[in-house]
Amino acid sequence: MPTNKTFTMIKPDAVADGHSGAIIKMIEEAGFRIVALKKTQLTAERAGQFYAVHAERPFYESLCTYMSSGPIIPIILEKENAVADFRTLIGATNPDNADEGTIRKLFAKSMQANAIHGSDSDENAQIEGSFFFGNVEQF
């Protein structure tokens, strides 16, 4: 059953460059409600746990170093059809392939430093949201 929730993180490059406010504005204007939000920083080890599904990929170590390089803003969002609509809003992983007007087209610097994360399924949205937030925060 669809949960109508998704999980996102504004990644270190976008936070460091001062794009958090503009990105959150785009998210809210696209009809997403903020359920939970905070600023925090991952250790390389915790980044490794978050991206464990990519452990065998050649970019895994570099990704974990990058994702722990500075503060991030994890957010749980709610909207009808949240997972798919949010991935449309952020655009393709590689900003060179991202559609005009998407968050990655506007703010991503590279395939790795691509400004923002978006869950790829309802199940992963639940797992990823619970990685950062307790039950009492997820309302």
Cite the active site residues: 117
Question: Which residue in the shown chain puts its C-beta closest to Mg ion?
Answer: 120
CA 125 to mean position of chain CA atoms: 10
Ligand-binding site membership of 11 (annotated): yes
- Considering the complex, state which of residue 36 and residue 103 has its C-beta at the smaller distance from ligand RTP: 103
Contact 65, 112 (CB under 8 A): no
89 contacts 26 by C-beta, under 8 angstroms = yes
Enumerate residues 6+ apart whose C-beta is below 8 A from 76. 5, 6, 7, 34, 35, 36, 37, 129, 133, 138
Residue 54 Cβ vs Mg ion, minimum distance, rounded to whole Å:
8
Scan for tokens 């974990």, then name that residue: 64
Q: Are 81 and 4 in contact (CB under 8 A)?
A: yes
The correct pick among 93, 126, 130, 138 for binding ligand RTP (CB under 6 A) is 93
* Position 112 contacts ligand RTP (CB under 6 A): yes
Q: Is 24 in the site for ligand RTP (CB under 6 A)?
A: no
Per CB under 6 A, 111 contacts ligand RTP: yes
Residue from the set 22, 24, 30, 63 that interacts with ligand RTP by CB under 6 A: 63
Q: Which is nearer to Mg ion, 40 or 121 (CB)?
A: 121
Three-state DSSP class for residue 45: helix
Residues that bind ligand RTP (CB under 6 A): 59, 63, 93, 111-112, 114, 117-118, 120
